[in-house]
Structure 1
Amino acid sequence: MFGLLGGTLDDWNRLSAIGQAYGSVSAIISAVALAGVILSIALQQRQTSVMERYSLIEQHFTIMRAAMDDPDLMECWGTIEGVDPVQKKRHAYINTISNYWFTFWDVHKGTSSQIRANFALEIFSTEAGLEWWRIAREVRIHTDGFGKQAEFDAIVESEYQKALKSREQN
């Protein structure tokens, strides 16, 4: 039968061995290609997540900017006992800064030590910053923070406590 197709049985055995060798190489190449597709999907998923966060931060900024520009809109955020309109505006602005730093840290662009330094040297070096966290922490403590947000809030709380101790000692 092999003779009718051309070649001897030895030729066919040799071709079969070559085909099996290429089959092994083909399987390895296919596995590498599949790994590449899986990696690509994972990267796309990560990028989509970052873009969703970016979109949310942009929406938050737009809302906060409108509230900071118009005292009537600021009232929609509710009242805070004993906080005048200027303090509310500062509170909203510092909250926007904090959300920016959280996003920066959450997408792995910043380190915990950078976040600590930002709060210690910038926010908590001012009365407005200390007052912001005194009020904001009450809300955050009473909400079920989880994951990265809870970790971030713990960093902020730690720096807040350090700032309070430093002020007490001075």
Structure 2
Amino acid sequence: MIQRSHVKFAPYLILTFRPSSGICAIFWKDMDKFISVTSLLISSVALFIVAMSLAYQARQTKLSREENMRTYHRELLLMSINDASLRKCWGGGNSPIEGKPEEQQRQLIFANLIFSWYAWSYSIDDITDAQLRINLISFFRGEIGREYWRSGRSRWMILVSASKFEKRRKFAQIADACYRSILDQMQGS
């Protein structure tokens, strides 16, 4: 029976009794190269897996952070829908809902929730350009959707022009094109 103490010395025994000439020597020489190459490949694959894991974790962290921000935004808007006195906290002057009747203010805040959801879904690649266009065309067919974009378009354009993400700028361009398409359809009929 082999004891543990014998196993510890096995690599040294192999190296000590390794043949120095003949066919066995060639085998051992090639075995060293094989072990080195195999070790390099295994290490490379392991490093690649670690790098992919870190990239995946970074993406998940970013998505989680964005979802938390969307949740906070949604909660603030819902509080504003339910309490007209809180709407003034968003800032005054040139507000898209300022001076409008209570019901319309609530509808425009809710339209902001829907529109922001489209923007976020598009930014995380949850919907394609075609799906976004379908959603926005439907959104702008409604009077509230058109009023939302008519009154909030300039703010969106300023925000997205300052964004470092091309996808957000593209979202606003698609939204504007869909809005204009609906206006053209309405004028043509």
Scaled by the length of structure 1, the TM-score of the pair is: 0.88
Residues 91 and 9 from structure 1, CA distance in 2 versus in 1: closer, same or farther, beyond 3 angstroms? same
- Over the aligned positions, Cα root-mean-square deviation in angstroms equals 1.7
Taking structure 1 as reference, are residues 124 and 8 closer, same or farther at Cα in structure 2, changes over 3 Å only? closer
Distance in 1 between the 2:108 and 2:131 partners? 22
Letter paired with 1:101? Y
Partner of 1:17: 30
Task: Tell me the residue number matched to 2:118.
Answer: 101
Q: Which residue of 2 aligns with 1:161?
A: 180
1:60-80 deviations in whole A, cap 9, x for unaligned? 001001111111112222344
Residues 137 and 14 of structure 1, relative CA distance in 2, 3 Å threshold: same
Q: Which amino acid aligns with 1:9?
A: S
Structure 1, unaligned runs of 5 or more: none
Structure 1 residue corresponding to 2:157, chosen from 138, 141, 159: 141
Secondary structure at the counterpart of residue 145 of structure 2: helix
Could you state the TM-score of these two structures normalised by the residue count of structure 2?
A: 0.80
Are the equivalent residues in 1 in contact too, given 2:108–2:144 (CA < 8 A)? yes
Identify the structure with bigger relative contact order (alpha carbons < 8 Å, sequence gap 6+).
Answer: 1
Deviates more, 1:12-21 or 1:93-102: 12-21
1:59 to 47, 72, 77: 72
Q: Which runs of 4+ in 1 moved over 3 A?
A: 5-8, 11-14, 78-82
How many pairs does the alignment contain?
165
Specify the code of the residue in structure 2 equivalent to 1:29: I
Call closer, same or farther: CA 1:111–1:14 in 2, change over 3 Å.
Answer: same
Structure 2 portions without partners, runs of 5+: 1-15
Larger deviation, residues 35-44 vs 76-85: 76-85
Identical counterparts, % of pairs: 25
The question of whether the paired residues in 1 share the 8 Å contact of 2:18 and 2:28 is answered with no
Choose 1 or 2 for highest CA Rg.
2
